[in-house]
Structure 1
Amino acid sequence: MRATAYTTVRPRYGIADVIGLLFRELLLMIVIFLVIFAIGTAAVLTLKRSYTATSTVYAGVGQEYVYQPRVGAIPTDRSGQPLEADAVAQSEAAILGSLEVKRRTVAALGADRILGPTAKGTPAEREVAALKVLDGGLGVGVTPGSAIISVAFKSDDAERAALILNAVVDQYLIQRRAVFRGQGSQAFADQREAFESELTSADEAYEAFLQSNNIGDFATAKATLAATYQTVFADALSVRAQLNQASQRLATLEAQLARQPAEVVLQQDLNISAQDQILQLRTERENLLARYTEDSQPVRDIDERIAGLQAYVATGTTVGPKEVRTGPSTIFTEIETTRINAAADRDALGARLAVLEGQLNQLRSRQADLTRLESTNATLMGNRDNLSAAVRDFQQRESQSRADSALVAAGADNVRVIARAEAPTRGSSLKMPLLAAVFLFAGFTALCVGLLRIFTRRGFTTPESTGRTLDLPVLAVAPVKAR
């Protein structure tokens, strides 16, 4: 007995076999095509004509797109490294198409005006539906390298499309002002108050430091002390030179005084009686001549006496001091007086020099104290200066932030609506493209169904497929016998 093995073999088809078998399923494919095409056509014909409202917005580079540090010096150049025009436009387009702008639009118009006659459901459901309508119908586009933003909204009603698009643009302007409005005014005020409190503490610490060291103003005290030291030092040098001069003068006066006598002859009377006697004898001789002759005895006696006295006077011993009066020397007194004054001047200069030396020592000690306190003063003063600068900086920033917020709220920005939306007069419809898509989809579905019928059929349907599948020649073909 011979054993028999069975196996399942999938038929192998060629292109001609597939085409031939598709013709066999042509009726089924036509029915499926017609059914799908009819359903799609009916759905497409129910679509309404849509109207697209458009608007354009100019978004230029403003102050909000220029970097400004929150802390530190405020830059004087406000145009440093701004964004490119297309980058600003993309940023503004993102704000325009944001969910917050759509929510503001729904809140401003109301869900019923956005949905139109199709509005139904609870208020929350209508709001969600209105957001979906805005999300699906709103289009925002930018052009590379341009600051123009194109906005469009599609709706089945022309008036409603223009109304909704204008509301979206208005709410965008409000939203961007809220976004770029300076929110740092209060923060700057808080920081300013904090720095003012720290500055008050620093002032108190610095004032206590100055009072504890008996200093009014450190810089003024140091400068005054240096100037005073220079003045006192110059005076000390001058007094020392004057003291040396006074000492040398006193020594000279004392040397001169030692060489001068304390007393001198004030008046001296001379003894000239011999000359007087000669004069008297001559007077008597003249009187005698009046009575006698020259060779008379009385005249010759007087002449002898006169000759004797003249001989005596001629010896030089007849004149001598008769009476001498002495007293203090005026030169000695003057030199003594000058010496006393010079000694007094020297002592005064010595006392003054001692005082100046003491002042110099005090000034040096005070300068050393100020030098020792200079680092502490610099630290405290630097802290006060930094805090004062920070307070001024935050005061300026607070004022600028407040003014900037007011300007932004008033609409002082670089965004302008070039063209507002108007109700479009011509609508557009997608019926023809959709009908073509339905036609293609119906034909593709019918083809897929025919191919599915071919490849799922059991048995051999054509001689070529049978020979190709069994790898055997087909010698004859018999018609299928009906059951």
Structure 2
Amino acid sequence: MRSTAYATVRPRYGVFDVIGLLLREMLLMIVVFLAVFALGTAAVLTLKKTYTASGKVYAGVGQEYVYQPRVGTGERGQAPTQGEVAQSEAAILGSQEVRRRVVRALGPDAILGPNTGNAPPAAREAAALKAIAGGLGVATVPLSAVIGVSYQADDPDVAATVLNAVIDQYLIYRREVFQDQTTPAIRAQREVFEDELAQADAAYDEFLMSENIGDFAAAKAGLALSYQTVFADRLAVQAQLSQTDRRLNTLVAQQAATPAEVTLQQDLNISAQDLILQRRTERENLLARYTPDSQPVRDIDAQIAQLEDYVAQGTAVGPKEVRIGPNPVWVELETNRINTRAERDSLAARLAVLDQQLAEILARQTRMTQLESSNATLAGNREVLTTSVREFQQRETQSRADNELVKAGADNVTVIERAVPPSDGKSMKVPLLAAVFLFAGFTALCVGLLRVFTRRGFPTPASAGRTLGLPVLAVAPMKAR
């Protein structure tokens, strides 16, 4: 028994086969074309004229586009170009938030018209947002700071009103976007630094009080000056003490070589000379009564001669009365010795006090040197915190002033041209009719091709020969069922 195998083979078409088959389906294609074109034409004819309102906004480079360090005194960043700023502002202008604010400011009815039906508010708001998104246009030119903005609507007044509302809400929203939001954070950080500074001040004051220091730098400088002064005084006192000691030794040596007592007064015995004078006086008296050869005169002359011989021997004159007392030179030397010794003792005592003071100053300086690191740490903390508090106070003031200026409208954006109701409307009927015509033709062609390629069997002899690989010798008409 012979077995038979069946295989499904899709017919193969040539270009002319397809063209011929499409001609066979021409009626169907015309019907489809007319139906689609009629529906599209009816939809296009229902469209109204659209009115486009336009405006222009200038967006210059402001400080909000320049990087400024929040902490420290670093350098500012490089300012962007005008084109980059314009693109950034255009993104804000066309943002969803601006559109939402326009809807809330004008209301959905002002955008969509009063014939919005009984739709819920959320649905009308969504429809208004969609209408603004579809009609709003934002355009920028490279290297230009001017932003072109437009809005398309069926009513010229609505187009102008919505576009002006978009510009107004954009100006408000961009001020909120670029408003410095760090003022509360800066204030909080400043308060934290102030608390830390108060703690640092208390710790530093406690440190100074515990060490009995008023001002560390002044105390250290004062100790250095005091050490120099006391050391100079010590050198001077030491020199004076050496001089005084040498002077005292000299006075002691001189005093040892000087007698303590000397003869103050000595009276001589001159009674023999007095007797001679008395006897001569008596002889002169006797010569007044007697002659020189008389016995009384000769007796007087003998006595005078005897006394003169006695005086001539040298034994008649001698000390009669001697008074001895203290030597003035020795007394003066003793006085100078006592004074010099007292001066030496005072200089020695002063030198001891100066040595003690130097020891105390050196100990204090050593202690100050040991405390210098602690003082530097505490003082450095106070200085850093003071600088930080001052810097954050300045930043807070500047931030608050900048926010007030931004709220007042002092920014880098200026409205060059506001929207006015356009007088000429535009209609898209002709381009849309052309598009509908092309779409209807394309749809009819697709339906015809679908009809051609979904046929069963071999619609043409050439297709049968090409598919089966056999020559077609004859063609018989299909027998009617």
TM-score (norm 1): 0.89
Secondary structure at the aligned position of 1:249 is classed as helix
Match of 2:160 in 1: 162
Shift of 1:84: 2.2
Query: d(CA) in 1 for partners of 2:368 and 2:95?
Result: 66
Question: Which residue number in structure 2 is paired with residue 93 of structure 1?
Answer: 90
Deviation at 1:171, TM superposition (A): 0.5
Which residue matches 1:16?
A: 16
Alpha-carbon deviations, 1:187-218, whole Å to 9, x = none?
Answer: 22222222222222222222222222222222
Equivalent-residue separation in structure 2 for 1:225 and 1:441 (angstroms): 103
Q: Does 1:116 align with 2:116?
A: no
SS of equivalent to 1:176 = helix
Inter-CA distance 312–141: structure 2 relative to 1 (3 Å threshold): farther
- Distance in structure 1 (CA, Å) of the matches to 2:20 and 2:143: 59
The code of the aligned residue for 2:80 comes to L
Task: Select 2:104's aligned residue among 85, 104, 107.
Answer: 107
CA distances 1:203-254 after superposition (whole Å, capped 9, x unpaired): 2222222222222222222222222222222222211111111111111111
Give the whole-Å Cα distance in 2 for the aligned partners of 1:61 and 1:299.
Answer: 158
**Of the candidates 343, 346, 351, which is equivalent to residue 348 of structure 1?**
346
Q: Deviations over 1:300-323 (max 9, x none)?
A: 999999999888877766654443
SS of residue in 2 equivalent to 1:151: strand
What is the aligned-residue RMSD (CA, Å)?
3.1
* Unpaired stretches in structure 2, ≥5 consecutive residues: none
Which residue in 2 is equivalent to 1:179? 177
Query: For residue 412 of structure 2, what is the amino acid of its counterpart?
Result: N
Provide, for residues 244-271 of structure 1, a one-character-per-residue CA deviation record: whole Å limited to 9, x for no partner: 1111111111111111111122223345
Aligned residue for 2:218? 220
Change in Cα spacing, 1:271 to 1:427, as seen in structure 2 (3 Å) is same
Q: Is 2:382 the counterpart of 1:394?
A: no
1:320-351, CA deviations, whole angstroms, 9 ceiling, x for partnerless residues? 44433222111111111111100110111111
Provide the rounded CA distance (Å) in 2 between the counterparts of 1:288 and 1:84: 159
SS in 2 for 1:327: strand
Residue in 1 aligned with 2:44? 44
CA gap 1:170/1:320 in 2 versus in 1, 3 angstroms: same
Q: Which runs of 5+ in 1 are unaligned?
A: none
1:131 to 119, 129, 151: 129
Q: Is residue 2:480 matched to residue 1:449?
A: no
Q: Shift of the alpha carbon at 1:432?
A: 1.7
Counterpart of 1:196 in structure 2 is 194
Instruction: Please give the alpha-carbon distance, in whole angstroms, between the structure 2 residues aligned to 1:55 and 1:217.
Output: 68
Change (3 A) 1:473 1:343: same
C-alpha separation in 1, matches of 2:3 and 2:328:
182
SS in 2 for 1:103: helix
* Structure 2: distance between partners of 1:68 and 1:152: 34
What displacement does 1:35 show? Answer: 1.5
**1:329 paired residue number:** 327
The 2-side partners of 1:95 and 1:224 are apart by: 66
Q: CA offsets, 1:32-90, max 9 Å, x none?
A: 212211111111111111111111111111121122222224x5x7x641222222222
Following the alignment from structure 1 to structure 2, what is the Cα–Cα distance between the partners of residues 375 and 253? 56
Change beyond 3 A, Cα 1:334–1:435: same
Structure 2 length-normalised TM: 0.89
In the superposition, relative to structure 1, how do residues 200 and 330 fare at CA in structure 2: closer, same or farther (>3 Å)? same
Task: Rate the CA distance shift 1:269–1:33 in 2: closer, same or farther, 3 A.
Answer: same
Cα distance in 1 for residues equivalent to 2:466 and 2:184 = 88
For the residue of structure 2 that corresponds to 1:119, the secondary structure is coil
Report the Cα distance in structure 1 between the residues aligned to 2:363 and 2:411, rounded to whole angstroms. 65
Rounded Cα–Cα distance in structure 1 between residues aligned with 2:160 and 2:309: 168
The share of aligned pairs that are identical, in percent, is: 68
Question: Aligned equivalents of 2:314 and 2:61: distance in 1?
Answer: 134
Work out the number of aligned pairs and report it.
480
Range 213-222 or range 43-52, more displaced: 213-222
State the one-letter code of the partner of 2:211: N
CA distance in 2, matches of 1:435, 1:117: 29
Q: CA deviation at 1:294?
A: 11
In structure 2, what is the Cα distance between the partners aligned to 1:446 and 1:353? 128
CA distance in 2, matches of 1:118, 1:316: 176
Q: Which moved more, 1:181-190 or 1:469-478?
A: 469-478
Letter in 1 for 2:358: L
The letter of the residue matching 1:265 is T
Which letter maps to 2:156?
Answer: A
Equivalence for 1:469: 467
